[in-house]
Chain A
Amino acid sequence: MNGVERRKNVRRFSILATFSVLILIVFVISMNTGFSRLSPLEVFQTLFGMGTEKQELILFEFRLPRIVISMLVGAGLAVSGCIMQGISRNALADPSILGISHGAGVMVVLYLSFFPTHLDVPVLFLPILAFFGSSLAAALVFGLSYEKHEGLLPTRLVLTGVAVAAGLSALMTVLSLRLSRELYQFVAAWLTGSIWGATWDYVLALLPWIVVLFAFVYYKALVLDVLSFGKNVATGLGASVSKEQVKLLAAAVGLASACVSVSGGIGFVGLIGPHLARRIIGPNHKYLLPASALAGALLLLTADTIGRTILQPSEIHAGIVVAIIGAPYFLYLLARSNH
């Protein structure tokens, strides 16, 4: 038995390593490409402090923060989706499908419509604001899908989520109509999911949330495993199901809000990231959580790089690129979940 366990661990480790290497490769490619092209050599020279001032500006002030943000947002959304899928036992649960991202969006737009110059927004304050909005949406969606004797109802959860998401994005559009053109464009960009907060300030605003919440969730990996057996088995094993669900859901909502406050409502990352990870590494959250984070980071970094480069000089929002991949995958999941 120990031999099998050891082989399994080697396999898991190499999967995580492979993801990391892939991220590194896309990272280097992403550093090289963009509006003004830099050769790999120039990139390395600049990274080690031997580039021109212009090269330094491009890499350190524009490209690098954006890359870091994409990775953080991708990882955060994927882990958030992973938690939601675990506690609801529904492979279709993810912060954007459940309307939780939209709750954050409405809050951000409300704030911007009262304090219209979004350049002055205190960035550290945004995730908290977003968290407030998405918590309201999450409370609504999960509250409506909870049955006293059955626990969370997986199908009703997704149906309620879709309805709430549709309502909230309509609300955002209505709110944005009375804003300035600039803000209207911001809202439109938000809804499709663009990585707009791409400066070091936003990295600093986002990083602590992701680190702290991921650490908390990772500590709860075993509880997540047990919860994914459903309410009855989990209770029988001695888990305080409702309490743990609320704690983990709060962490998932926190992760999603922090991400969404700098990236807009990027869909599908929280759906595909964990699903892909689960297929490769299995259902054990001790490995599934880090694998989801890496898959999400890889996915969004790749999508943003493609979006940034494919139609130069104009940009396609990362959210759109992800959706182009994500929509068919979502349909595939739906078709598969029928049997």
Chain B
Amino acid sequence: MIVTENLDIAYDQMVIVKQLNIEIPSHKITALVGANGSGKSTILKTMARLLKPKSGHVLLDGKAIHQLRTKEVAKQLAILPQNPTAPEGMTVTDLVTYGRFPHQRGFGSLTKQDKEVIEWAIEATGMKEFAHRPVDQLSGGQRQRAWIAMALAQETPILFLDEPTTFLDMAHQLEVLNLLEELHEKERRTIVMVVHDLNHASRYAHHMIAIKKGTVVKAGTPMEVMQPHIIEEVFGIQCDIIRDPRTGLPLCLPYALSRSKKEQVHHIG
């Protein structure tokens, strides 16, 4: 389980996150949602020890993650950052192979187990037919799946993803989200992701954390978080919440900017 304790995060002098206390439930899909610049991505990166907090702790199974050896953390937690790029000409198999890095020593020859995991990760993400293609020649959705395969090859109980569906078209977005859902169902992995689309969060996540200016406005199930007054506070829009006729889950239908937002827009205009 991952918990943050009184986390303060700052870029140079600018404080982005203040006194953050959140809990990431194990074996569930958690979605961090919030407007642009709300600090959700910063929080994700800090929880994954890519950024150092100004003060406070991130606890991974009770231990401060920033004090642990980074290689040990990499066996517990894999993170797929936003827009990762692979060196030109690197094939999918090569890319996925580097997911074994935390388990390798020194020169890095692959054991039988390493090879099995790599093959499994490629298969699980449906990348088998592209296994020997260069990553830079794949479509956006395929590329994202290749990177997820790399993260899977790390064999970690926890998987973080920073906006895994951004820049993808609708079909590719669903492709990635379905893959994550499947991974959760089959492997019971703890998945934490930053998503822009509220309805995706509601549909795929079990737990949602709505963030505004670096603080939590509301954390809970999609039913608890997807409420008009919360959405208005977090995103500055007015919306109707209806039930998805297929799943019964809440759907957000925005219809107007909030009054305060409107005034801002008028001032700018």
A residues near B (Cβ < 8 Å) are: 1, 4, 148-149, 219, 221-222, 225-226, 228-233, 235-240, 278, 282-284
**Nearest chain A CB to B109 CB, angstrom units:** 10
Chain A CB within 8 A of B232 CB: no
A233 and B81 form a contact (CB under 8 A):
yes
Chain A CB within 8 A of B23 CB: no
Chain A residues whose C-beta falls within 8 Å of the C-beta of B89 in the assembled complex: 278, 282-283
**Nearest chain A CB to B31 CB, angstrom units:** 20
**Binary CB contact string for chain B from 98 to 134 against chain A (1 if under 8 A, 0 otherwise):** 1101101011100000000001000000000001100
Chain A residues whose C-beta falls within 8 Å of the C-beta of B108 in the assembled complex: 221-222
Chain A residues whose C-beta falls within 8 Å of the C-beta of B48 in the assembled complex: 236
B73 and A238 form a contact (CB under 8 A):
yes
**Nearest chain A CB to B176 CB, angstrom units:** 17
Whole-angstrom CA separation of A240 from B66 in the bound complex: 12
A239 and B70 form a contact (CB under 8 A):
yes
A226-B81 contact given A4-B132, A240-B70, A283-B90, CB 8 Å threshold: no
Chain A residue with the shortest CB-CB distance to B110: A5
Those 9 A-B pairs whose CB atoms lie nearest each other, nearest first: A238-B74, A238-B71, A283-B87, A238-B102, A232-B81, A222-B108, A236-B79, A237-B101, A282-B89
Chain A CB within 8 A of B253 CB: no
B93 and A149 form a contact (CB under 8 A):
no
| Partner pick for B84 among A221, A230, A238, CB 8 A cutoff | A230
B102 and A284 form a contact (CB under 8 A):
no
**Nearest chain B CB to A129 CB, angstrom units:** 33
A237-B87 contact given A149-B11, A222-B104, CB 8 Å threshold: no
Chain A residues whose C-beta falls within 8 Å of the C-beta of B40 in the assembled complex: none
Chain A residues whose C-beta falls within 8 Å of the C-beta of B154 in the assembled complex: 237
Known: A148-B12, A149-B51. 19 other contacts (CB 8 A): A1-B93, A1-B119, A221-B107, A222-B106, A222-B107, A222-B108, A226-B98, A232-B50, A232-B84, A235-B70, A236-B50, A236-B78, A236-B79, A236-B80, A237-B98, A237-B101, A238-B73, A238-B74, A284-B90
A222-B81 contact given A238-B75, A283-B90, CB 8 Å threshold: no
**Nearest chain A CB to B203 CB, angstrom units:** 26
Chain B residues whose C-beta falls within 8 Å of the C-beta of A230 in the assembled complex: 84-85
Chain A CB within 8 A of B49 CB: yes
A219 and B106 form a contact (CB under 8 A):
yes
Chain A CB within 8 A of B174 CB: no
Chain B residue with the shortest CB-CB distance to A233: B84
Chain B residues whose C-beta falls within 8 Å of the C-beta of A1 in the assembled complex: 93, 119, 131
28 A-B pairs with C-beta separation under 8 A: A219-B107, A222-B104, A222-B108, A226-B98, A226-B101, A228-B87, A229-B84, A229-B85, A232-B45, A232-B50, A232-B81, A233-B84, A236-B74, A236-B80, A236-B81, A237-B74, A237-B102, A238-B70, A238-B75, A239-B70, A239-B71, A240-B70, A278-B88, A278-B89, A282-B90, A283-B88, A283-B89, A283-B94
**Nearest chain B CB to A234 CB, angstrom units:** 9
Chain B residues whose C-beta falls within 8 Å of the C-beta of A226 in the assembled complex: 98, 101
A237 and B84 form a contact (CB under 8 A):
no
Chain A residues whose C-beta falls within 8 Å of the C-beta of B51 in the assembled complex: 149
Whole-angstrom CA separation of A219 from B104 in the bound complex: 13
**Nearest chain B CB to A153 CB, angstrom units:** 15
Whole-angstrom CA separation of A284 from B86 in the bound complex: 11
Whole-angstrom CA separation of A287 from B90 in the bound complex: 13
B101 and A222 form a contact (CB under 8 A):
yes
**Nearest chain A CB to B250 CB, angstrom units:** 32
Interface centre among A222, A238, A239, A278 (most CB of B within 10 A): A238
Chain B residues whose C-beta falls within 8 Å of the C-beta of A235 in the assembled complex: 49-50, 70
Interface centre among A219, A221, A283 (most CB of B within 10 A): A283
Chain A residue with the shortest CB-CB distance to B86: A229
**Nearest chain B CB to A278 CB, angstrom units:** 7
Interface centre among A232, A236, A239 (most CB of B within 10 A): A236
**Nearest chain B CB to A87 CB, angstrom units:** 12
Chain A residues whose C-beta falls within 8 Å of the C-beta of B11 in the assembled complex: 149
Whole-angstrom CA separation of A226 from B119 in the bound complex: 20
Interface centre among A225, A230, A233, A239 (most CB of B within 10 A): A233
Whole-angstrom CA separation of A230 from B50 in the bound complex: 12
Whole-angstrom CA separation of A236 from B107 in the bound complex: 19
Chain A residues whose C-beta falls within 8 Å of the C-beta of B87 in the assembled complex: 228-229, 283
**Nearest chain B CB to A28 CB, angstrom units:** 33
**Binary CB contact string for chain B from 59 to 75 against chain A (1 if under 8 A, 0 otherwise):** 00000000000111111
Chain A residues whose C-beta falls within 8 Å of the C-beta of B132 in the assembled complex: 4
Whole-angstrom CA separation of A229 from B90 in the bound complex: 11
Chain A residues whose C-beta falls within 8 Å of the C-beta of B12 in the assembled complex: 148
Chain A residues whose C-beta falls within 8 Å of the C-beta of B104 in the assembled complex: 222
Whole-angstrom CA separation of A278 from B134 in the bound complex: 14
**Nearest chain B CB to A333 CB, angstrom units:** 12
Chain A residue with the shortest CB-CB distance to B51: A149
**Nearest chain B CB to A220 CB, angstrom units:** 9
Chain A residues whose C-beta falls within 8 Å of the C-beta of B71 in the assembled complex: 238-240
Whole-angstrom CA separation of A313 from B106 in the bound complex: 51
Whole-angstrom CA separation of A232 from B73 in the bound complex: 14
Whole-angstrom CA separation of A115 from B67 in the bound complex: 51
Chain A residue with the shortest CB-CB distance to B85: A230
Interface centre among B73, B86, B98 (most CB of A within 10 A): B98
Chain B residues whose C-beta falls within 8 Å of the C-beta of A148 in the assembled complex: 12
